[in-house]
Structure 1
Amino acid sequence: MSECTHLPELPRPEPAPHALTCPQCEAMGSHPVQLRLCLWCGHVGCCDSSPHRHATAHFLETGHPVMRSFEPGETWRWCFVDASIV
């Protein structure tokens, strides 16, 4: 695991998810491949393997740098700015 400068800035406690699936995909009638959770605000978005890449779109719109997998049994985090697993 690499360190990034954004980890110490993460809100504590971790924000609660705003949804259990990607609301943008749901509104479009699309099905996300996997889900990601923004660790700044709790936004749930689909991963880059999904056609609409809503988690990345959320980062580009807000600048919230760190997200984590929102899949059962997965705990890894990703920093969009540093482009690395943290």
Structure 2
Amino acid sequence: MENPEICNHIQEIKNLKLAKELVCEECIKIGSDWVHLRTCQTCGTTLCCDQSAHAHMTNHYHKMHHPVVISAEPGEKWLWCYKDEVFADYQ
């Protein structure tokens, strides 16, 4: 993924961590629904997006400082770096 417009955090990812289950574990714990899911590329945790009521993945970033997520939604192939606010598609 060598591209000067893509941050180092994204460029360092060699193998994508995919969602093991298409659920937000934090939403399940509190009985909430979610809109979309994201999977952390540091630890593999899958949580809900910012459009969801609790924005668990953004909270995960602020707590754990894991910068890059991918969409866990079927058919979506993109990464987002919270730290650098950079978006990138992948094949």
Q: Normalising TM by the smaller chain, what interval? A: 0.7 to 0.9
Q: Which runs of 5+ in 1 are unaligned?
A: none
Distance 1:36 1:13 in 2: 16
| Match status 1:82 vs 2:84 | yes
User: After the TM superposition, which residues 1-80 of structure 1 pair with which residues of structure 2 at under 5 Å, given as runs?
Assistant: 2-10=5-13, 12-80=14-82
Distance 1:42 1:48 in 2: 18
What is the total number of aligned residue pairs between the two structures?
A: 85
Question: What amino acid is the match of 2:48?
Answer: C
Identity of aligned residues (%): 40
TM-score normalised by structure 1 residue count: 0.87
Greater shift, 15-24 or 71-80, is seen at 15-24
RMSD: 1.7
Q: Find runs of 4+ consecutive structure 1 residues off by over 6 angstroms.
A: none
TM-score normalised by structure 2 residue count: 0.83
CA contact (8 A) 2:67 2:81 kept: yes
The offset of 1:9, in angstroms, is 2.9
